[in-house]
Amino acid sequence: MIKLGMFVAAAFAVSGAHAGVLDLGSLMGGANVYTAGNFKAISSDVEGSIVAGGNVTIENYAVNLNHKPAYTNYSVVAGGNLSLTSGTIHNGQVYAGGATAYKNAAEAPRSTVNPVDFAAATQQFKDIAAGLSGVAATGSLVREYSANKVIGSGKGGVDVFNVDAAFFDGGNNWVLSGLTPGQTLIFNISGKDGGFNNGNIGFFPLDAYNVLFNFFEAETVDVKGIIGSVLAPYATVKVGWGVINGQVIADTWDSSVQVNANHYFGSVEVSGFELAGSPPVEPPADVPEPATLALMMVGATGLLALRRRRPAI
C-alpha cells in the first residue's frame, strides 16, 4: 500500500507560521469524488475518477469519460468491493480491496496496488475542514431581496466567509461585490444539514472563481446544481438528481447526481490556516517494492505542496 496520507501528515509538520497551503486535489489524488466509506449510484456518471474507502456499487453508470484519473492512472479506487452493472469505466485501471463484479459491462484493467491510505487521508480531510473553520472571515454574506450577496474584502487573493447552513435555505441567485474574478472564495458553512435551497440557487455568477464550500460539521449535504468544490468529510451525499461542477469529498455517497470534471479546487495559500487535530503521523519505515515506490513518489511530490510555509526571513 502506498501511504500517501502519511506523506501529507508529515508535510504539515513543517513549522512556520501564519499561512497554510491548501491543496485538496493532491490529497485525493486528483479524483473527482472522494468518500471515506461506500459510494453507491444509479443511472448517472462521474466524468472524472472515484476514490472510495468502502464498496463502490454503480449501475447504468459511466466513470472517467473525461480522462481525469486519480493517482496517475486509476479510474476507480475502492477499499472494499467494486460492482458495475451496465456501464463503463473509462480511461484507467481499477483497484478493489475486495471482489470485483461486472454485469453487462466490460471489465476494466485491475491493479493490485492500493494507491492511498484511506484512514490517514480521511483524517486529514477532517483536520483540514476543522482548520479552515477556524480561519477568520474576511468578507460577509447578506440577503439582498432574493439573492445571496457576497461581499468580499476588495483585496482579491483569498476571501473567507463564515455562514450558517440555514442561510442557504433561501435565496435564488448570487450577487457579488468586492471580488476579483479568478480569486478564491472559501465558505465555511456550519450546521448538520447542508444544501442550497433544494437546488434552486443559480450558481453561474461563481463560474469565474476558485470556490470551496466547507461543510465542516454537516451530516448530510444536498449540493446539486453547484459550481465549486465541496468538503464535507462527515456527511452523506443523498440527493436524487442534478449536477455538481467540481470535486466532492464526503463520508458516504448514496445519490444519482451527476458530477462533472470541471471547477476543481486550485491549490492556494490561506492566511491563518492551520491543520487541526492530532500531531502528524510519521512516514512508514517499511520500504515498498520499486514499482510501488515510483508511483508513490509521483503522488508525494504533489502532496508536499500542502506543507505550511516557513516564515520569511
How do residues 177-195 score in pLDDT, each as one tens digit?
Answer: 999 999 999 999 999 999 9
Q: What does the block give as the cell for 213?
A: 464550500
Asked if 176 and 264 sit in the same domain, the reply is: yes
Asked if 85 and 162 sit in the same domain, the reply is: no
Longest dimension (CA), the chain: 62
Residue 16 has pLDDT above 90, yes or no: no
Asked if 137 and 106 sit in the same domain, the reply is: no
Structural domain that includes position 19: 4-119+280-292+299-306
The contacts of residue 90 (CB under 8 Å, 6+ apart) are: 62, 63, 64, 65, 67, 75
Asked if 93 and 153 sit in the same domain, the reply is: no
Residue 198 has pLDDT above 90, yes or no: no
Report the C-alpha gap between 37 and 61 in whole angstroms.
Answer: 19
Contact yes or no for 188/165 (Cβ under 8 A): no
91 found inside a domain: yes
Q: What does the block give as the cell for 276?
A: 487541526
As a dihedral over the C-alpha atoms of residue 155, residue 158, residue 164, residue 169, rounded to 10 degrees, the angle is: 90
DSSP conformational letter for 197: G
- Look at the chain and report how many structural domains it folds into: 2
Report the C-alpha gap between 126 and 234 in whole angstroms.
Answer: 8
Q: What is the pLDDT of residues 225-264, one digit of tens each?
A: 999 999 999 999 987 789 999 999 999 999 999 999 999 9
Q: Which of 33-47, 82-96, 268-282, 289-303 has the lowest mean pLDDT?
A: 289-303
Q: Specify the pTM.
A: 0.85
Q: Which helix (H) or strand (E) holds 64?
A: none
Which residue reads 480531510 in cell numbers? 125
Asked if 138 and 241 sit in the same domain, the reply is: yes
Asked if 164 and 255 sit in the same domain, the reply is: yes
Contact yes or no for 7/283 (Cβ under 8 A): yes
Q: Which of 9-18, 96-105, 233-242, 272-281 has the lowest mean pLDDT?
A: 9-18
Q: How far is CA 83 from CA 58, 68, 217, 284, in A?
A: 6, 21, 30, 31
312 found inside a domain: no
124 found inside a domain: no
